[in-house]
Structure formats: C-alpha cells, structure tokens
RNA sequence: GUCCCCGUAGCUCAGAUGGAUAGAGCGACGGUUUCCUAAACCGUAGGUCACAGGUUCGAAUCCUGUCGGGGAUACCA
C-alpha cells in the first residue's frame, strides 16, 4: 500500500463526522508541493469550514487532534489558512522500505482485473509507416504494458487498414506498371513504389480538374474582398469579415498551389506525363479495383492474398525495432463479412435511416451524421468500427476499449461510442486516447525538406545512428556489441521517451538534440542514472542475489537517502495515477524525479567507500531499489535500461 | 455557419478533482573532478499564467466576453 493511501485511511474516521463526502476530502490530501511544508499536506479544512461553522484552522486542529498518526508522522502542524502539514517519521520510513525490498512489484498492488482491448498503431498496409504512426504506436504500447502490469487482461489489437482505396491503387499499379524483376527482389519496396506512382497520377488528374475551379473561386474571393472593403460599414464587423475572407483566400491559394505542384510534378517528367496521358481515367479505374476486391473478384482477391503477407512482414520490421508485439492483427478486411449485418441491425432498431441516399445514424447535438453505408452501397470505416466493437465484446468479453488515435478524429469516436452504446454496448467503457501532432522545427507537421511525410523506419534508424555516435564519444571503452546495444536503447528509448513525456493531447516539436540530450528530462539521463547504480555493483563485485538474501534493513543517515526512499515509495501512486488518466507522462515524471534523486544520492552518499557496514549495506539496498524502480518503470514504457553505458 | 482544442520564463514544455511565494528541462551567468561513470552535480537570474469581467475564504485551473493560433465539419479511412 502506498504511503498516501495509508495516510488517507488514517484520516477517514476523523473526517466521518465533518462531511458527507469523505472521499472528496481525503482526495485533498496529497504530496506536499514544497518540501518545506513536509512530505504530505491536507487541504480539506478550508472547504469544510463553512459547513462546520468554524474557522478553517479550528477544523484543521480538530481533525489533527483526532487522527491517529503517531507511529507514522511527526506531530502535525497547522499552517496558513488551515493546511495540515505532515512529515513522516524516519523510523516509519525505514520500516516501510522493507516491504519494497522484498517485492518485485515495488509496492504496487494489482488492480481488480478487467478485460481491455487496446487498439493502437493501425497503419495502412498499402504504404510504409511514417512519423504519424509514431505516437499511436508508442503511447499505445506503453499503456498496453502498464495495464498488463497493473493486473488487467489486455488484448492488443492492430487494426490495420488493409481493405481501403489504397489497395485498389496497388492492384491497379501492379496490373499496369509492375517491374517484375524489382518485385521479385524487393516486393514491398516495389509495391510502395507502385502505390506512390498511382497515387501521384490520381492526384494529377484530380488536380487538373480542380485547378480551374480553384482559380475561379480565388478570383471570386478577391472580388468579395474588394466589395467588402468598398462597402465599408461598421468598422469592427468589417474587420472581422475581412479577416475571415482573407483566411479563406489564403486557404484557396494554398489549395491551388498544391494542385499546381501536383500537376508540375507530372508535367516535368516525360515518362510520367506519358503515363498520365495513357491512363486518363486512372482514378475511376483504381476505385474500380477496390470495388472488385470488395465484391470478391477472384483475381483481385488472389493479388490481395499474395500482397498481404509481404506487407505484414514489412510492418513487422518496424515493430521489431520498436519492440512492439500485438496479440491480434485484425484489420478492416477481417470485418468485411459482418458489415451488411451491422447496417441491417442498425436499420431494424430504427437507429439508421436514409439520408441523401446514404444510411446514417444521427446523434442529436451533432450536425455530422454517422454514415454506415454510402449511397453507392459501400460501407465506411464507421461500419467497420461498429462491427469491431461487437466482435470484441462477443469474442473477448471486452469491458473496456481504448483507441489510441489522433485527436483530430475525436468527432468520429464521439459518434462511434454513442452509437455503440445505443446499439447495445452501453456496459462497455470506451476511451478515445487522443494525442496531438508531431511538429517540425517550424511548428508545422513534421515533414522532410521536400515536403513528404517522414518514414518511420528511417527515423528509427537515424535515432540509433545518432545514439551510436554519442555513445562512442562518451564511452569509447565499451566493446562494439555493447555500444550497439546501448545505441539501440538510447536511440529508440530517446524517441519513445520524448513522445511519452509530453502530455499526449499536446502537439510537440520533434527535436533530435533534445531527445538525445544526456542531461535534462530524457531517456538517456534516466538510463544513465540506472547504469551508474549498476556500476557500483560491478565495481564492488556485489552479487544482488546475495544482497537480497541478507538482512533487509534501511538506515537513513542523510537527506538524499531520505528523499530517494520517499520517492521510491510513491511508485504505486504514480502508476495508478498514470492509468487513471491513461497518461504515460505521469509515469515519465516519476522516472525523471527518481533518476534525479538517485543521481543526487549517488553524488553525496558514497556507497563502496562507506566504512560503517550497516550504512554501506543500506545504501547498497537503496541502489538496488532505485535501479529496479527505473528498470521497471522504463520497461512499462517499452524502453530498455542497459546496465552499462 | 456549427463544434472542439490551445495561448504559462528567451526556447521546449509540466501544472491530476480550484489551495500556501506558479514549476521543470534547455539556453544564459557563476561554481564543482586526487573520490563508486563529469553522459554528472550545486548556485544565480528570468513570468501581468493572452486580455477584461465574474464565481469564492482562495483562480493558471471554473463561468462569460474579447483578441490571437490550430483542428473537425456527409459518401477517404
């Protein structure tokens, strides 16, 4: 049990007579925000004062007099308007440490098990993974590991996009443009090339069609602006109106220039322009390939069956680099057989109705419909998602479903969850674990200089390469194999940590130097703190197993030992708080703080040189504990903790 | 048009259900190494929490409005 929980339990009886909502009051007991106020503080007196009809300090005093904390804390202090400050007794802390020492869960008690499905990563198999898949994969995997450790039954499911328009493009590309030799040698690279090619040609034709329309609209927009300026009117309103018009103008200009770029890209290449001329209706044609696939066309199905394993292999390569494993990889195609029935069921329950030829569910309060069938009869990802919900509940008995997906899709999930509840899954807990965008240095979505999305695999390789350079500079004495292992841990760990330590809802700037920095709030810093602890064991030739077998007694002799131990005792709270909000960043905070305190301890509490055998042993135990805490914490984030670096 | 999110130190970001003098990292400045990994540590400076009202014992946090930025908005997934 965590220290905080213990303290709260002690306060419970003393608060019983004061408020109807004891838990709320207990929630106002928290770690002290400043060490000078002690270790913990209770803030409930102020809010209870009015109901009690007494000044807050009197309320605080009354509770302080009643609560039984003599063994745990120094005498309580009432401070300021009515804060109760608590300082733990050294003897109690030393004693509490023993329960950590003998526990490989570091004091974390398993939570009541629930059945989770966590849906993350979800790339499109037709195209290589890019930086946009980083956050879902990394955050999802961290939550996956954390939930399992906490005692839940978790099914991780990679809901890959293997059935959409992109596949039609690949099939079309394969039928018309494949280079058999290249396909033989590197099938996935060739398929990716085909996808890019067809996509580019489709873009070209669509742009050709769009560009004149955009030009007209742009001219109209300019006219509108001029008219508005000429008309004048209320200055404030005019300003607003002009601003809006200008914004639209900018957007139009951007769309036009992007269309022109797409046209240019084809026109400047003779080979490309020839292909473009040769396949004027490539857009419809590749859509048709998709439709044929969905309709069960034998040839397209055969191609799909041939491509899929190769595409999955390619994804697997990235997941191996990331250290991610899924229990299930049930993509969109898997749910194809169930889609018609989903729509049927929604219709029969009166939830879906016809609207402009499409079948839609309308949720009041939302303008946008939840479209489950298009007017051409095709199903949408809404349909697939509903089929997925039903399948998971029926097959896995899922009680809670987590979707680790970009925050821009929040509206979709809002509609999905509400529709699913009405459809009969109101007992299931749904969470859209949303996250922001990875930005480049310019504050815009992270792109290459050429404007393309950044490939995920090359990003990971670059991280490891950069890390290897740093490792080699900092510790040339390591042998090559170890250096490579450390580079993997530092490089991949650095990318993951940088992502996880931000509040997931925020956008963040991707910055190599920051994420691989050796000091500051980085994976490297935390890993290094751990490696130093291992260094002590190595140097002192300490066998950790026999350390664990000896007397488990911590004696606190200075402030850095105390601060470190107190921190280690909060692991359970940190993990539970992170899980309650599905925020790995709360766990990274714990790790950084632990590493900080471990390093401070390392700085001013000599271990091997300590002459007093009891103190030396106690410090070794603290080293062992910190190292275990960091290793465990990092592992829950999917980050390696090398013993030497 | 409608809806959602954001605006905190020079930079990048934390601030869990409102709590004491708003934090961290980087950068800047100053210091620390005969000592278990200096990939480190210690210290200093730096903020009108976009702005204006309101709610209350107390607001970066809740409410309203203004300004600024981003996103979503019916047949892509």
Residue nearest to nucleotide B12 (CA to C1'): A509
* Cα–Cα dist A470/A440, whole Å: 22
* Cα–Cα dist A493/A643, whole Å: 14
Tokens of A501: 């330590």
* Cα–Cα dist A494/A475, whole Å: 18
Is the CB of residue A148 less than 8 Å from the CB of residue A114? Answer: no
pLDDT averaged per 10 residues, chain A (length 645): 90 87 89 88 90 87 92 92 93 92 93 96 90 95 97 97 90 95 93 91 89 87 84 73 80 84 88 91 90 91 94 94 97 95 95 93 88 91 96 97 95 94 94 94 85 90 96 92 96 96 93 93 96 95 88 92 94 94 95 96 93 94 96 97 95
- The confidence score (pLDDT) of residue A591 equals 97
Architecture of domain A3-88: 2-Layer Sandwich (3.30)
Distance A320 CA to B75 C1' (A): 37
A409 in contact with nucleic chain B (CB within 7 A)? yes
Q: What is the tens place of the pLDDT at every residue in A376-420?
A: 888 999 999 999 999 999 999 999 999 999 999 999 999 999 999
A378 in contact with nucleic chain B (CB within 7 A)? yes
Q: In the complex, which nucleotide's C1' lies nearest to the CA atom of residue A23?
A: B17
Domain range list for chain A: 3-88, 165-301, 456-636
A532 in contact with nucleic chain B (CB within 7 A)? yes
> Which nucleotides in chain B lie closer than 7 A to a protein CB?
1-2, 4-6, 12-17, 19-20, 23-27, 35-42, 57-58, 67-68, 71-77
Q: What is the tens place of the pLDDT at every residue in A484-498?
A: 999 999 999 999 999
**Which of the 157-196 residues on chain A come under 7 Å of nucleic strand B at their beta carbon?**
161, 163-165
Distance A244 CA to B75 C1' (A): 28
* Cα–Cα dist A398/A250, whole Å: 47
Q: In the complex, which nucleotide's C1' lies nearest to the CA atom of residue A362?
A: B74
Distance A412 CA to B3 C1' (A): 13
Is the CB of residue A352 less than 8 Å from the CB of residue A340? Answer: no
A360 in contact with nucleic chain B (CB within 7 A)? yes
- The confidence score (pLDDT) of residue A437 equals 93
- The confidence score (pLDDT) of residue A452 equals 83
- The confidence score (pLDDT) of residue A358 equals 93
Q: In the complex, which nucleotide's C1' lies nearest to the CA atom of residue A527?
A: B39
Q: DSSP secondary structure string, A524-537?
A: HHHHHHHHHHHHHH
Tokens of A264: 């240019």
Q: How many CB atoms lie within 10 A of CB A558?
A: 11
Distance A368 CA to B2 C1' (A): 10
- The confidence score (pLDDT) of residue A33 equals 84
* Cα–Cα dist A18/A3, whole Å: 23
A256 in contact with nucleic chain B (CB within 7 A)? no
Rg (CA), chain A: 30
The torsion angles phi and psi of A440, rounded to 5 degrees, stand at: -85, -175
Distance A106 CA to B71 C1' (A): 41
Q: In the complex, which nucleotide's C1' lies nearest to the CA atom of residue A31?
A: B16
**Which of the 477-506 residues on chain A come under 7 Å of nucleic strand B at their beta carbon?**
478, 486, 490, 502-503, 505-506
**Euclidean distance between the first and the last CA atom of chain A, given in angstroms as a whole number:** 34
**Which of the 413-442 residues on chain A come under 7 Å of nucleic strand B at their beta carbon?**
439
Residues shown for chain A: 645
Residue nearest to nucleotide B15 (CA to C1'): A503
**Which of the 584-643 residues on chain A come under 7 Å of nucleic strand B at their beta carbon?**
585, 589, 592, 596, 599-600, 602-603, 605-609
The rounded Cα A129 to chain-centroid distance in angstroms is 16
A33 in contact with nucleic chain B (CB within 7 A)? yes
Specify burial of residue A400 (Cβ count, 10 A radius: 0-12, 13-18, 19+).
Answer: middle
3-state secondary structure of A114: coil
Distance A29 CA to B21 C1' (A): 21
Q: In the complex, which nucleotide's C1' lies nearest to the CA atom of residue A46?
A: B57
3-state secondary structure of A361: strand
| A352-355 and A358-361 beta bridge pairing | antiparallel
A80 in contact with nucleic chain B (CB within 7 A)? yes
Distance A28 CA to B17 C1' (A): 9
Residue nearest to nucleotide B25 (CA to C1'): A520
Architecture of domain A456-636: Orthogonal Bundle (1.10)
Distance A32 CA to B22 C1' (A): 15
Q: What is the tens place of the pLDDT at every residue in A472-529?
A: 999 999 999 999 999 999 999 999 999 999 999 999 999 999 999 999 999 999 999 9
Q: In the complex, which nucleotide's C1' lies nearest to the CA atom of residue A24?
A: B17
Distance A333 CA to B3 C1' (A): 32
| A508-509 and A438-439 beta bridge pairing | parallel
Q: In the complex, which nucleotide's C1' lies nearest to the CA atom of residue A610?
A: B36
Distance A102 CA to B70 C1' (A): 50
- The confidence score (pLDDT) of residue A253 equals 84
């Amino acid at each position: 049990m965590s220290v905080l929980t213990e303290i709260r339990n002690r306060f419970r009886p003393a608060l019983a007579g004061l408020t109807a909502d004891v838990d709320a009051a207990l929630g106002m007991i928290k770690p002290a925000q400043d060490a000078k106020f002690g270790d913990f503080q209770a803030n409930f007196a102020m809010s209870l004062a009015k109901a009690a009809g007494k000044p807050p300090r009197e309320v605080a005093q009354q509770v302080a007099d009643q609560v039984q904390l003599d063994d745990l804390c120094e005498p309580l202090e009432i401070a300021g308007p009515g804060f109760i400050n608590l300082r733990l007794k050294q003897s109690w802390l030393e004693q509490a440490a023993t329960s950590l020492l003998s526990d490989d869960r570091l004091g974390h008690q398993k939570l009541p098990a629930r059945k989770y499905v966590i849906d993350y990563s979800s790339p499109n198999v037709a195209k290589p993974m890019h930086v946009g898949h980083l956050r879902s994969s990394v955050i999802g995997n961290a939550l996956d590991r954390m939930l399992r450790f906490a005692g839940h039954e978790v099914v991780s499911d990679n809901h890959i996009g293997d059935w959409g328009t992109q596949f039609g493009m690949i099939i079309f590309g394969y039928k018309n443009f494949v280079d058999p030799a290249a396909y033989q040698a590197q099938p996935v690279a060739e398929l990716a090339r085909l996808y890019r090619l067809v996509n580019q040609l489709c873009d070209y034709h669509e742009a050709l069609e769009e560009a004149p329309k955009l030009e007209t609209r742009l001219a109209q927009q300019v006219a509108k602006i001029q008219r508005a300026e000429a008309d004048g009117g209320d200055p404030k309103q005019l300003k607003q109106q002009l601003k809006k018009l200008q914004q639209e103008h900018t957007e139009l200009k951007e769309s036009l220039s992007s269309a022109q770029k797409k046209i240019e890209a084809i026109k400047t290449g003779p080979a490309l322009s020839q292909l473009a001329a040769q396949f004027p209706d490539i857009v419809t044609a590749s859509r048709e390939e998709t439709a044929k696939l969905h309709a069960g066309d034998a040839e397209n199905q055969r191609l799909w069956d041939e491509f899929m394993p190769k595409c999955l292999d390619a994804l697997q390569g990235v997941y191996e680099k990331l250290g991610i494993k899924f229990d299930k990889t049930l993509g969109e195609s898997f749910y194809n057989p169930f889609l018609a029935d989903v729509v049927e069921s929604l219709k029969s329950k009166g939830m879906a109705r016809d609207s402009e030829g499409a079948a839609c569910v309308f949720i009041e309060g939302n303008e946008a419909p939840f479209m489950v069938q298009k007017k051409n009869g095709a199903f949408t990802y809404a349909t697939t998602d509903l089929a997925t919900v039903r399948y998971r509940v029926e097959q896995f008995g899922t009680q809670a479903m987590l979707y680790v997906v970009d925050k821009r899709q929040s509206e979709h999930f809002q509609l999905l969850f509400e529709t699913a509840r009405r459809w009969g899954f109101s007992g299931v807990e749904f969470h859209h674990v949303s996250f922001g965008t990875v930005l480049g240095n310019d504050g815009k979505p992270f792109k290459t200089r050429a404007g393309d999305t950044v490939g995920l695999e090359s990003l990971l390789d670059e991280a490891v390469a950069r890390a290897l350079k740093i490792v080699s500079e900092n510790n040339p004495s390591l042998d090559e194999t170890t250096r490579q292992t450390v580079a993997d841990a530092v490089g991949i760990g650095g990318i993951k940590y940088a992502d996880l330590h931000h509040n997931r809802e925020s956008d963040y700037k991707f910055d190599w130097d920051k994420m691989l920095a050796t000091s500051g709030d980085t994976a490297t810093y935390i890993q290094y703190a751990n490696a130093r602890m291992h260094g002590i064991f190595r140097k002192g030739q300490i066998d950790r197993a026999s350390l664990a077998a000896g007397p488990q007694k911590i004696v606190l002799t200075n402030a850095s030992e105390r601060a470190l131990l107190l921190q280690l005792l909060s692991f359970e709270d940190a993990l539970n708080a992170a899980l309650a909000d599905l925020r790995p960043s709360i766990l990274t905070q714990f790790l950084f703080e632990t590493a900080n305190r471990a390093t401070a301890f390392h700085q001013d509490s000599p271990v091997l040189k300590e002459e007093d055998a009891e103190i030396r042993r106690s410090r070794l135990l603290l080293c062992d504990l910190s190292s275990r805490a960091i290793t465990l914490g990092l592992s829950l984030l999917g980050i390696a903790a090398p013993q030497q670096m």
